[in-house]
Structures are given as C-alpha cells and as structure tokens.
A and B are shown apart, each in its own frame.
Chain A
Amino acid sequence: MNKFTYASVSTTDAAIAEMDEHDSPKFIAGGTNLLDLMKVNVENPDHLIDITQIAFNQIEATADGGLRLGALVTNADTAWNEEVEKRYPLLSKAILAGASPQLRNMATNGGNLMQRTRCYYFYDTATPCNKREPGSGCSAIGGYNRILAILGTSEHCIATHPSDMCVALVALGATINITGINGDRTIPITEFHRLPGDRPDLDNTLQAGDIVTSIDLPVQGFEKNYAYLKVRDRASYAFALVSVAAALTLEGNQIKEARLVLGGVAHKPWRSAEAEAALTHQEASVSTFEKAAAIALEGAKGYGDNTFKIELAKRAIVRALKQAAGLEEQA
C-alpha cells in the first residue's frame, strides 16, 4: 500500500475541488472494495476523498412515484428499508444475497455500483491483466477462469461484474443520478456498466470527477412476481457463479411483461431483451422458460473451466422464472 493523504468533504463541490488538486485521487465511502485493492497494490491513489459526510443518505419518494436511493445509504439500510422491502422485494433479496452482514453495513449503494471485478488475475500484480494494466494481456484466458464471464467477453478481458444489487437494479430499470464537473445528468443503469471490448480498464461510463448521487427506481416494482436466485460455491459470502433476477407481470397465466437479468456471467449485469421478448405474451410454463433460457444464452462462450456456466445459467433461469411465476417457492 502506498502513502496517501486523506480529506473528508461534506459537499460535492468540495469533493470535486479536492479531485482537481491531486494526481490520482479516489473517492471513498464504505471502502469495502477499495481498501482491499489498495492493500494488494492494485489501486494506488495518492489522495482519498471521504465523501460519507455528503448528504446522499436518504431513501425518499421521487416526483413520479418511484423511489430514490441515496448513493451513501448502506446496502443493509437499503435492503431493510420498509418501502424497498414492500415495493421492490427483488432488490432487497438481491442485496441480502451479497457479501456478509458486516460488509453490507459498511458498503454503500454508490460503492456497490463502483465495485470492481473479483477476477483473481486482476488482484494479483504478479500476473498480466488488461483491466489493471492495459496492453499487458489477459491471464484468465488460458488460465484459471472458473468464476469468469461467458457472455459479452472480448479477447482482452473475461472479467465479471460481481454485484448482486446491480443485477436487480437492471431488472427494475433503475436510473443512476450523477453530478460532475459539467453539472448533473442521469444514466440508465443498462448504460452505466460496459462490456470490456478493447478497453477493459473502463468498468463503466462515468467520467473523471463524476460522483454518483443516487439511484432512482421507477414505479413498477414487480413485487408480486419476482425471484432472485444466486448459485454459488457456499451458502453465503461467495460471489455468484450465476445469478438470475427474474421479474414478471402476469395476467392469469399469461406473461404481460418480463425482465430477465443474469449476474456473474459478464462484465456487466446481463439483460437479455431477446429472452424477455420470448417470454412476453406467452404462457408461464416450464417450456416457455426453457425457450427463454436457451435464447438468453445464445452466443455464450466458455473458456474451459467456466464452460459449465452456460448450462448452469439455463437451469438457473428456468428455476428463477418458475419461482417468479409462483410455480414453485422461492428459497
């Protein structure tokens, strides 16, 4: 870990001003990922700007009847928030599937969006990694890649985004509110994270100096027919090998609207519009779900150790959709 200076700020203006004064500054909130990365010399900021005193700490209704989640509200407070539990149980469930109670008590919503891949090679400075050191090569391709991506990969990177929360946010169609040097703007969550392409060093579409201020959830919460299924190597405190957020609106046995998003399989939460289309206006049945699952995994590519994820994802999708449709109970 390198030497760094530290400042605590209470306004976004002060945060942005601090940014300008240093070579490689970083914002820090819960620090649950950043500190780990600093300890292994993957992140080497010369200055930490503690933004936890900025007032992004509320969960409140939006003008259009949705819900705004402050960027600095902890994952735990979000998951256990009454409105979230009642109106967006999919989000609660996804958050609680992640990390451990201790981590969720520290980690913030903004930080969850910003967390970095857990690819082993990204963490180990002794190995080449295009995400950590552009142009050095990808050690995971041809290396040990059991936990890595099968969708939207590139020859430069097969990292996954590790979040559970973001998978649910994509299913819910959340919007990310941002403030920055050029003022405020919003990014739909589907455009927030990006695929690796030839710039795997970029996890998302934020620009230098941008701060995530809050996350807006639309009115529609899919609170009746939803499921978050996380498949992992132990019952808790493990990242998803595959996770599925499924959300449906049903009319009788007919699917009126469907959302289907995968976690643990790509550089971003993987939403399959084609699979959603294949579900819409269909009967909620296992055969419909199996078709959608096959469509969702079209184009998936295994890299050896992780090839099993293709089949696993299909089965997990069917299971999650069955749970969402009420064909079986959610664990």
Chain B
Amino acid sequence: MSLLQKLGVSAENLAPEITGKYIGKPISRVDGRAKVTGNAKYAAEFNIGTGILYGYVISSPIAKGKITAVNARQALSQKGVLNVFTHENVPGLAWFDRSYQDQDAPPGGSPFRPLQSDEILFSQQPIALVIAETFELARYASTLVHFEYEVKEELNVGLELNLYKAKKPKKHRFPVPKPRGDAEKALAGSVVKIEEAYYHGYEHHNPMEMFASTVIYGDDDRLTIYDKTQGVLNSQSYVKSVFGLSEDEARVISPFMGGGFGAGLRPQYQLYMAVLASLELKRSVKVVLTRQQMFSFGHRPATLQKISLGASAEGKLQAVINRCYSETSTFEEYTENVVNWSGQMYQCDNVMLDHKLVPLDLFTPLDMRAPGGVTGMYALEVAIDELAVKAGIDPLEFRLLNYAEKDQNLDKPFSSKELRECYRQGAERFGWNKRNPEAGATLEGNNLVGWGVATGCWEANQMPSRAKAMLSADGKLTVSSATADIGTGTYTVMTQVAAETLGVAMEDVLFKLGDSVLPMSPLQGGSWTMATVGSAVKLVCDQLKAKLFKMAKKVENSPFGNSKEEDVVFADRCISLKEDAQQYLTFTEIMRKSKVNYIEEDTTSLPNMLEQNEYSRFTHSAVFVEVKVDQDLGTVHVSRVVNAVAAGRIINTKTSRSQVLGGIVWGISMALHEDTVMDDNFGRFMNTNLAEYHVPVNADINDIDVIFVEEHDDIVNPLGVKGLGEIGIVGVAAAISNAVYHATGKRVRDLPIQLDKLL
C-alpha cells in the first residue's frame, strides 16, 4: 500500500486533467502591485514596537588563526552602545553539532558556531556583534573594537593547489553510481576520444536583498522573528535547538524575499546573532549584513572535472569517465550532484564516475541555483561538443545519436522525457540547419560568429507537504502552507491551483505562506515547490470540495440527492450538475442551509513513492546560443538564445517564462562574468561588491526565446508539473562555451570566458 493509500487517498483520484480558467495561463503576479508599490515588506523592513536595537557584525580580517585579545572598551564607552558580543562573553548554548544542523546542512558535519570560539576558520568570519541604539552608531562602534590575532601561516586555499588532499566524502547527498562496464578499457579501444579538464571557480549568490533578521522581543518573552529565509520552519527549528526555545517562543515570518537562489536554504549567521542579542538583552534587535558580508558564507564551490570520453568512428559513445574535485570547508562535507549527469545523459555502457572533496580554509559551500547541475552539465556538454567535433559530426546530431532512452544510472525508464522534441523545436526556432560546420569561419565585421548547443537537465522531485484550506460562507477561500516565495511566484501559482480546483475566482483566494505557524512545508528549493506545495494545495482543495459536496447533498431539496462528485462541476462558486447546469447550489447557499460559517480542511500530501521509485524523473532542455566574439579584442557577446524546455505541465506561462529567462541570464553570467576572486596569500575574496563581482547588465542581454515543449507526466506528482526554478540555467554556460569555440576555434575550459582567454 502506498503512503497515499494509507491516508485514504488514491493517486488516480488526484490526477484528473486540469484544463482551466487559470491553469496554463499567463497570469500576472498576485503580489506584483504590493512589490512595486513598496507594500511588500522584507525582513529588515519590519519595525514593530519601539526601541529596536541594531546589530553590526564585525568580520575577521584574517583567514586562519586565533583571536588572542579583544578590547571593546572604547566602543562600549560610546553613549548608545549597549553591548559587544564576542566569544569572550557569549553564554553557553547548545553543545551538540546536531543542534546546529539545519535542514540543508551537509550530513554529519560540525556547523559553524558564531562567537563561540577564539578560532578563526575562514576570512570574514563573524567575530563580534556590536549592539547600539542606531545602525550608524553600531557601525561606527564596530571600528572601535580592537582585536589581536595569532595568524596561522599555513593556509589552504585554491582548489588546484590542494588536490592532493582530496578525499571521498563520508556521506554523499547524491551517491555516485558504481562503475558500469569497463570505462578505461573502452576508452583505450575508442577510435575517437577526448581527455580534458573543466573548471569554474567560486561564485556567490548575491541576491539584491541583504540577509537580515528583525527579532521582536514580546512582552511575554516570546520572539517574533522576521528572517530572510527560504524556509521559515528551518530557521525556526535552528533557533529552537540552538537557543533551547519552544515552538511558541520563536515564531519565524518571511512573507517576501529579495532573491534566494539557494543562499537562504541555510539559516545565515545574522539570524543567530539577532536572536542571541535579543535573548541576552531582552530587547528587539535587527541585524542586517553588508554587501561585503554577503561573500562571507556559502557559495558555489570551485570545481574541477577531469573528463574522458570515447566514441566509435560512427560517433557512438563508448566510454565516459568523470573524476571530479570540488571544495568543501574544514568543518563540513558539502556535496552536490556534479558527476551523476555524466552517466545519465547519454546511452553508454562503460561509465566510471568519481567525486572527491578538497577541504579548504573557507566557509562551507552552499546550494546555488541548480547546484551541481550547472557544474556537471557544463563540463559534460562541452566535452560532448569536443567529441562531436573530433568525430566530425554535427553536435546536435551527435546528441541524438547517443540519446538515452532510459536512465542507465538507475536502470529505470524516465517518467517522461521530451528532450528529443526540445532539440527539434529549439533547432527549428534557432535555424540550426543553417549552421556552418566549420569553426572560426563566419566573420561579420570584426565579429566572429558562432553557434552552440547544449542539453539541460534537472530533477523533478516531490516532497511531503501540508496545506490547509478554509472556505467561508461568503465564498472566500484561504489556503496556507509554510512555504516561501523567493521571487519565483509561489503566491500566484498556488492561488491559481486553489481557484481552479475549487471553482472560485483568483480574486477570492488568499494564499498565505512564510510563517512558522502555518502547516509544514519543506524548504523552497530544488525546483520542487510547485510539485510539492502545489500538490498539497490541490489535495486540500479536493478534500474541501468533497466535504462541500457532501453537505450539498444533505441540504433540503438538494438537486444532488443521488449524484456523485464526478457528476457535478465546481465553478463560479457554485456546484452544478454536469447534465443540467440549471441545477445548482452556490457555495454560500450550501453553507447557509447547513448552518455553518466556514468549512476547513488540513491535509498532508505525500509523494507516491512506490510508483515514483519505478521511474527516473527529470526535466530536460535544449539550449541554442549564438555568440559574437570580437576577433581582436576577445569580447564575447551573446546575441541570441533559444531555450526549449520540457517541464511537464506549465501552470503559469508568464511566471514560468520569467523563471527560465532569469535562468538563461544567469547562465550567461556564469559563462562570461561571474567569478569571486580569491587572493591566495590572504585566503580572502577580493571583489566583494557588485561593481567588481560582475553579473550581466541590460546591455549584455539580447534576444532570448523560451519554448515550453508539451510533456505529459502522470508519475511525477498529481499536478504533472516538473518545476522550473533550476532548469533555465542548466546547459547555458556549455552552449555559450560551445558557441565561442564554433566562433573562434578556441576551446576555453574554465569559466568565466573573459576576453583575455581569447586573445
């Protein structure tokens, strides 16, 4: 029996065809007006109560060593400075590592504990929190706190310098498949082969909104915490376990987020700092990080992949080897799915994959949009391009030639995979058949023009989630779940699903999220929110429908006396007979006649694991790119992108397109711009501001075309959706790299492709 069946819900009942008034339409964001008028409040903007205190974090100037002395006298002598928290005066908190392990913490590590030790583990480590009556005063006082250090000279930064320290992680979050066939032997026997290394360095999320926590200290000694987070329940459980608070003592609220991108999957240290100060001082406290400090925690790890591919003369893939090295910190083992894609994307019987970690004196890396996916697919898709070139086969044709009909990693069929159609529609829109097979052969003025293609792939997961729905007699529906809207459009799409399911107008639906008192929902990440929370919203609304229909049948002179639910339609706040639309009852009538003011349901939606486990479940895309490379100056301009995505059912074509557009822009950023520069002497990131940490500006972005390829999938979840948060970025950097090669004949194997690499 499946978990759903145990709950008395059969999966079939959850998968009716939804064709609708709202589903699949280009609907504008329900919170759009609030956002553009400034009515949407972010974590640092809550100022409930008076006398809020401000905290300013002091960051370590050294990367490794010990604090030998702290002198805060001068700072404390300033009128209006209340306290300077350092490792010398922070009270005893939770002892065990597990108390600090949040939902996204790497398994088995020792999460960083701010202000609990004199030891410096990474540059910009927070070493003090200055609390004052104004932000300006706290910031000024921070310059008056003096530290002395004992600097440890032996510093381990730089991935490639430390490869000899590489080790297998104790627990990989994405276990690497065992070798299949004999890749080394097959490679040796291959007529066409390539062996190359692909690298990208450190990258930081850099959402517009800085991490911030506003802790309101209540009269009842309870905390209301406005936090920037992708999961209020994650922040709440972290605060509970670290500070020994009960659920009632720490409520976490996060209605809006100015960009998450994964940075908010773990509680960042400003939360700990603000709660610490609030509890100690019994006052409300706000802590906001600076832009520089946004570079002081998790990031996309620098990763090196040594890939060998072998093919037959006809271009059939015979061997795939990917040996990957990525960084982690000295205190946690961060793993992501980098190499598994290499064994999954193409039909190949001889595959050897390996992933090792290199501990560095840096903060633990952190999931960043399509973590592992962008990295692994970048390297694989460039390597495939190189192999296609060597085999003398068009790179798109080469991919079709080696198309994986099933997932050989898992030895399972795909729940759905319209990748072939992505290739076809994308190529057609792009005009791929007009491609000049010669590299470096198309010149327009000073620009070498190149076309490249790459494949994208991302997981289509569903997680357990709860949702609650309440329909009041006036026909207003309130649905809630403790999920987040990190800018992706959760408010909007959940409102659509609820309105569509119950047959009410979107205007009559209020969807609530981002509050720890709401029903349980997982972190918003992994592209699973639509599948997860959407399924819960649909389920709870279906249950509400059943309840309402049951009531409707019982009212006096009910037109539904002998009808079943499938005989009626829920629309326009009415239940009517399918056969005879004149026979209907309004929701209001039903409730009035039943003498209730509202009806309510609260449910848990669980993925149908038994069924899902039979399949490999992924989203796919095909990315086509045109670049123009200045033949003398090396500047690269992405003039055209077509991204064809197969992501199951599309709930909202407008927000979905926005997701993919944003992903593509970020892909351009990854390919050409983003790079957090490390000074190896200081173990310190140097370009920690948005003037020098480059992301594309408008002038860098040209034509972008997004195609959603039709895809039906009854396996992935009751809504048949696959999620779009990640897929848009995957493959873009590879397609650009391949286009740059096609333009110039030069193969750049480390990102970003800055102009000096093409001179």
Which A positions have Cβ atoms within 8 angstroms of B? 1-3, 39-41, 118, 120-121, 123-127, 139, 142-144, 146, 231, 233-239, 241, 308, 311-312, 315-316, 318-319, 328
Contacts and interface: CB of A to CB of B under 8 A. Distances in A.
A234 B694 contact: yes
Interface stretch (B514-522, B569-577, B678-686): B678-686
A233 B694 contact: yes
Interface of B: 61-62, 123, 136, 139-140, 143, 290, 292, 445-446, 632-635, 637, 672-673, 677-679, 681-682, 684, 686-689, 691-692, 694, 696-700, 754-756, 759
A236 B692 contact: no
Contacts of B445: 328
A40 B292 contact: yes
B700 A234 contact: yes
Contacts of A121: 686
Contact of A235 (B677, B679, B699): B699
A303 B535 CA distance: 58
Nearest to A229: B633
A236 B697 CA distance: 7
Given A3-B140, A120-B692, A124-B686, A231 B635 contact: yes
B759 A308 contact: yes
Nearest to B757: A308
Nearest to A307: B756
A146 B314 CA distance: 44
Given A40-B292, A143-B679, A319 B686 contact: no
A260 B450 CA distance: 33
Contacts of B62: 126
A234 B633 contact: no
Contacts of B292: 40
Contacts of A235: 637, 697, 699-700
Given A231-B755, A236-B697, A139 B679 contact: yes
A156 B755 CA distance: 28
Given A118-B691, A118-B692, A126-B62, A237 B686 contact: no
A308 B672 CA distance: 17
Contacts of A318: 632
A236 B633 contact: no
Contacts of B143: 1-2, 41
Contacts of A2: 140, 143
Contacts of B684: 124, 126-127
Contacts of B692: 118, 120
A144 B687 CA distance: 10
A142 B682 CA distance: 11
Contact of B698 (A1, A39, A236, A308): A236
A145 to B, nearest CB: 10
Given A121-B686, A319-B633, A328-B445, 17 more contacts: A1-B136, A120-B687, A126-B684, A139-B682, A143-B681, A144-B679, A146-B677, A146-B756, A231-B633, A233-B755, A234-B673, A234-B694, A235-B697, A235-B700, A241-B755, A311-B759, A312-B634
Contacts of B632: 315, 318-319
Contacts of A39: 290
A126 B61 CA distance: 5
A234 B755 contact: no
A319 B698 CA distance: 25
Contacts of B681: 139, 142-143
B700 to A, nearest CB: 5
Nearest to A119: B686
A304 to B, nearest CB: 12
Find the residue from A1, A125, A316 having the highest chain B CB count within 10 A.
A1
Nearest to B633: A231
A234 B673 CA distance: 7
Contacts of A233: 673, 694, 754-755
A241 B757 CA distance: 14
Nearest to B637: A235
Contacts of A234: 672-673, 694, 696-697, 699-700
A142 B136 CA distance: 36
6 contacts: A40-B292, A120-B692, A125-B61, A234-B697, A235-B637, A311-B759
B128 to A, nearest CB: 15
Given A238-B694, A319-B633, A127 B673 contact: no
Contacts of A241: 755-756
Which 3 A-B pairs give the minimum distances between C-beta atoms? A126-B61, A235-B699, A308-B756
Contact of B699 (A127, A236, A312, A319): A236
Contacts of B140: 1-3
Contacts of A319: 446, 632-633
A150 to B, nearest CB: 13
Contacts of B754: 233
Contact of A144 (B139, B446, B677, B697): B677
Contacts of A237: 691, 697
Contact of A312 (B139, B290, B679, B759): B759
A120 B637 contact: no
Contacts of A3: 140
B686 A144 contact: yes
A38 B689 CA distance: 14
Find the residue from A124, A231, A312, A319 having the highest chain B CB count within 10 A.
A124
Find the residue from B62, B681, B686, B755 having the highest chain A CB count within 10 A.
B686
A121 B677 CA distance: 12
A118 B697 CA distance: 19
A262 to B, nearest CB: 14
A96 B68 CA distance: 50
A42 B759 CA distance: 35
Find the residue from B136, B140, B445, B684 having the highest chain A CB count within 10 A.
B684
A305 to B, nearest CB: 9
B149 to A, nearest CB: 11
Nearest to A40: B292
Contacts of B672: 234
A316 to B, nearest CB: 6
A292 to B, nearest CB: 16
Nearest to A128: B682
A217 to B, nearest CB: 28
Contacts of A312: 633-634, 755-756, 759
Nearest to B758: A308
Contacts of A1: 136, 139-140, 143
A286 B688 CA distance: 41
A56 to B, nearest CB: 27
A225 B132 CA distance: 59
A120 B633 contact: no
Nearest to B124: A126
A159 to B, nearest CB: 14
Contacts of B696: 234
A143 B681 CA distance: 7
B120 to A, nearest CB: 12
A241 B759 CA distance: 13
A238 B755 CA distance: 14
Contacts of A236: 697-700
A231 B630 CA distance: 11
Nearest to A305: B756
Contacts of B698: 236
A146 B686 CA distance: 12
B633 A315 contact: yes
A171 to B, nearest CB: 20
A3 B677 CA distance: 32
B244 to A, nearest CB: 35
B687 to A, nearest CB: 6
Nearest to A309: B756
Nearest to B686: A120
Contacts of B689: 123
Contacts of A146: 677, 756
B540 to A, nearest CB: 46
B682 A127 contact: yes
Contacts of A40: 292
A50 to B, nearest CB: 18
B758 to A, nearest CB: 10
